[in-house]
Structure 1
């Protein structure tokens, strides 16, 4: 599965016109969404569980917010009765129990942001055996072979490859970089790291001076870098980050009195505002991020699956890119906002669910 996802690459990784998260961008030509009369819920509405392995950063909170937004839309049409959240705080055993609880409650479908590629397989199989589809989003893929397991993943290798390639070229193809990673043991982190490593093979004179786990949070990134930077003897020329910690890297270098390297951005408001307003004159970089709209996409896909529509087992969700040409558009975004494309239900159906 991982090889297949990696092979899809740039056919999905388009650079979209971005909007700050919270401001929906509806592509032209959308038709009306399905109504309750078309839903197999019989007008009662489906109950959907949402199992989130972590919600302690702005990305995950935005993802949950978008899932709620989609659920409210589908409540209004009578297709969804309730969306129930459970967060496991990075504890795989807890997430397994929460999925099992959803099965016992008799929910109709479960959207899952997994904390592990393998630890949830038994719980996913239990749900599938009970006729409950599981829709994996954001931190997949998982290795489950369950019949009713559906996966909506990012092409994370391409995403991180694009960011890493830009940084390597910007520093002239040689020098030292720091790789800011996510949560140790998570599937997304492992695949993102693979994307970095694959690009670095093209740049043998670019060396990784340190790998730092940040849990995709600025506070941990800043504290970890405050400890790591004084121990490094070489000048740091670039920083590659998975998300949630780019501005923290800026602050860490400034606090240490060091020259700013080329720091790959993460589409967070903190970083984009700094880049647009306060970065040194001529400071160029690129900002790349996964898209928390996949929370809404997971809810839309769950209802289509329950309605018996043709939904593929593997889907790819587009990510977002901000370049120097775009950054001034985000000079006044809120600190916690994430610049990302947002879509309506029909766009999701045509470009993610139906695209094969």
Structure 2
């Protein structure tokens, strides 16, 4: 079932509500809401940052003192998350946030929580159960804008190589298709090679290096990962630095900023999706109002050396890379940028866990 998605800015979530429940408002109740975050996997930088910013966002700003947040990490199996969710439901919290191990296998358990009167919000890896809200990045917009940027940099002409991501991963196929759909509008841009970067620096660098050796003229590189591995491969091969598309890891932004002649655009799947899910849960609990659509798209900013005005998505926000302001030499390479939503100030140190 394909979900209809509506893009709603954070500040407008409450205003978008059209359906009002009979639940009484607790906006003036001093008792904090009990909210559980169920996470099926914690083995990468993004998931760890996601949990840190969730914790920070309920301890400062408008949500300070409003939420008793409990984070439950489980083994990366569907059954483990189902068991954990059943235990959470028995605690009768006000809301449950779920970064799901399956888009459908959790549905009966999610429905059980909804039937118990619990607000359920899936985020990042979302579920298809209609009673749960879904907060995620716009995976149609992200590759489209980045491919448009590449075409603009190349003046509509040149040879590029393209990352297929991780074999079998649905998001990898969606990103590849998104890139290629836009590039198809530019017949003078040729994809001369593909590689699988596997969302890791090593495979990205070796995959690009192999294609550089096989192609004497490369004008652009479109990754699904860091981009910094691609730039290092260009350096190692003694090749000119060409425009690179990647994702907004701290190491990528620093490499782009500190490499002479580098031009980059970095798309973002912000780790603060967890904070947005918490904010939405509190808005619903405070007002009793529900968003107009169950699927809510968060518009992450693009981080780039060369901002441009997207014609495909007018008004898309571009953040120019600036070392010390939005790229941090003293923080972890895997820190995901940007680090904070606009309704609370989360510092780089807080997001990285170095404070």
How high is the TM-score relative to the length of structure 1? 0.72
Structure-2 separation of matches of 1:183 and 1:49: 33
Structure-2 separation of matches of 1:87 and 1:41: 34
Residues 223-279 of structure 1 show CA distances to partners (whole Å, capped at 9, x for unaligned) of: 464267437733554332344x222333344456655442213222212112212x1
321, 324, 329: which one aligns with 1:327: 321
Following superposition, the deviation at residue 291 of structure 1 comes to 1.9
Larger CA deviation: 316-325 vs 175-184: 175-184
Following superposition, the deviation at residue 46 of structure 1 comes to 2.5
210, 213, 223: which one aligns with 1:230: 210
222, 242, 246: which one aligns with 1:265: 246
Structure-1 separation of matches of 2:56 and 2:72: 13
SS in 2 for 1:106: coil
SS in 2 for 1:56: coil
Q: Cα–Cα, structure 1 residues 102 and 239, in superposed 2: closer, same or farther, change >3 Å?
A: farther
Q: Cα–Cα, structure 1 residues 257 and 228, in superposed 2: closer, same or farther, change >3 Å?
A: same
Aligned to 1:221: 201
SS in 2 for 1:307: helix
Q: Is the 8 A contact 2:197 2:224 kept in 1?
A: no
Unaligned runs of 5+ in 1: 14-37, 347-356
Matching of residues 204-353 of structure 1 within 5 Å: 204=187, 205-207=189-191, 209-212=193-196, 214=198, 216=199, 220-223=200-203, 225-226=205-206, 229-230=209-210, 233-234=214-215, 236-243=218-225, 245-255=226-236, 260-277=241-258, 279-281=259-261, 283-312=262-291, 313-324=294-305, 326-328=320-322, 329-330=325-326, 332-333=328-329, 334=331, 335-340=333-338, 342-344=341-343
Unaligned runs of 5+ in 2: 11-24, 307-319, 346-355
Q: Is the 8 A contact 1:45 1:75 kept in 2?
A: no
Residues 65-111 of structure 1 show CA distances to partners (whole Å, capped at 9, x for unaligned) of: 1111122248985432232232444x334333333332234333211
Q: Is the 8 A contact 2:39 2:71 kept in 1?
A: no
Residues 108-151 of structure 1 show CA distances to partners (whole Å, capped at 9, x for unaligned) of: 321122343323323322222232222121233x3222x2x111
Q: Is the 8 A contact 2:160 2:222 kept in 1?
A: no
**RMSD, aligned CA:** 3.5
Q: Is the 8 A contact 1:300 1:345 kept in 2?
A: no
Following superposition, the deviation at residue 302 of structure 1 comes to 1.6
Structure-2 separation of matches of 1:246 and 1:196: 15
Q: Cα–Cα, structure 1 residues 12 and 128, in superposed 2: closer, same or farther, change >3 Å?
A: closer
How many residue pairs are counted as aligned between the two chains? Answer: 307
Following superposition, the deviation at residue 308 of structure 1 comes to 4.5
Residues 141-199 of structure 1 show CA distances to partners (whole Å, capped at 9, x for unaligned) of: x3222x2x11122222111111122223434434232225258435x445434422322
84, 102, 117: which one aligns with 1:116: 102
Identify the structure with the greater helix proportion: 1
Aligned to 2:93: 107
Larger CA deviation: 304-313 vs 176-185: 176-185
Aligned to 1:176: 160
SS in 1 for 2:117: coil
Aligned to 1:144: 129
How high is the TM-score relative to the length of structure 2? 0.72
135, 143, 147: which one aligns with 1:160: 143
Structure-2 separation of matches of 1:75 and 1:84: 20
102, 114, 117: which one aligns with 1:128: 114
1:84 and 2:83 aligned: no
Aligned to 1:63: 50
Following superposition, the deviation at residue 42 of structure 1 comes to 5.2
SS in 2 for 1:111: strand
19, 32, 37: which one aligns with 1:45: 32
Aligned to 1:29: none
